[in-house]
Amino acid sequence: ASGVTDDRILAAMNRVPREQFVPEAKRSIAYLGDDLCVKEASDGQPGRFLMDPRVLGKLMELASLSSSDLVLDIGPATGYSTALLADLTDTVVAIECDSDLAEKASATLLDLSVDNAAVIEGSLPEGNTKQGPFDVIFLNGSVPFVPSELLDQLKEGGRLVGVVREGNVGKARVYVKSGAQSTHWDGFEAGIHPLPGFEVAETFTF
């Protein structure tokens, strides 16, 4: 996890076996510094990836995670990010749009005795209004924009962290809820694979 300096995140990465969340044929390359495909594109659906562990760790640093946080994990695919967040915070609700991946994530979390996280099948851009509001919302991939529906699910002072694509450049961005508004600032540049569903949702912002 090059570039990650938070000892708590590094310790969590040592405790959570990333190889358990990747297809068996790819377990030998589970820790390579790149996004890792966990489901190939098919039937018009994009491929799904686990984020480069270095980018994942640095994004988690930007989230300023606390052991008391309630976290919404958006698009975890096989659930590696969910397990890490569960190690670092109080409770994690994960939303996954792919039923097969949601099932795999739930099974792996159960195998690893992660009892403070739940994976729910649902629309990624819509988040989860029933379980919120959240201290932290974590996006597991790049998006062209952040829907107001997600920002509305933050507690006062809550943080949404993800990579926002502007043209060909992706930037790690932190949104902080303040009253009815939110402020944001950019961190490092990152080229990671997109989350599905957000391109469609963008057509409804007019």
Q: Cα(159)–Cα(177) distance, rounded to whole angstroms?
A: 7
Closest by CA position to 196, among listed 81, 92, 74, 93: 74
Q: Residue-wise pLDDT tens for the chain (206 aa)?
A: 468 899 999 999 999 999 999 888 787 777 777 888 888 888 777 778 899 999 999 999 999 999 999 999 999 999 999 999 999 999 999 999 999 999 999 999 999 999 999 999 999 999 999 999 999 999 999 999 999 999 999 999 999 999 999 888 899 999 999 988 899 999 999 989 999 999 744 444 44
Structure tokens belonging to residue 91: 């409770």
pTM: 0.92
**Residues facing 194 on adjacent strands:** 142
Q: Is residue 1 part of a domain?
A: no
Q: Is residue 103 part of a domain?
A: yes
CA 65 remoteness from chain centre = 13
CB 58 within 8 A of CB 43: no
CATH number at residue 120: 3.40.50.150
Q: Which amino acid is at 49?
A: F
Structure tokens belonging to residue 119: 């994976």
Q: Cα(197)–Cα(52) distance, rounded to whole angstroms?
A: 21
Closest by CA position to 66, among listed 90, 83, 35, 46: 90
Q: What is the pLDDT of residues 67-103, one digit of tens each?
A: 999 999 999 999 999 999 999 999 999 999 999 999 9
Q: Is residue 2 part of a domain?
A: no
Q: Is residue 78 part of a domain?
A: yes
Q: Cα(80)–Cα(11) distance, rounded to whole angstroms?
A: 15
Task: Print the domain residue range for 116.
Answer: 7-204
Q: Strand runs (DSSP E) across the chain, as ranges?
A: 36-39, 48-50, 70-74, 91-96, 117-121, 134-143, 154-166, 169-178, 181-189
Q: Is residue 73 part of a domain?
A: yes
The tally of domains found in the chain comes to: 1
Q: Cα(82)–Cα(157) distance, rounded to whole angstroms?
A: 22
pLDDT score recorded for residue 201: 43
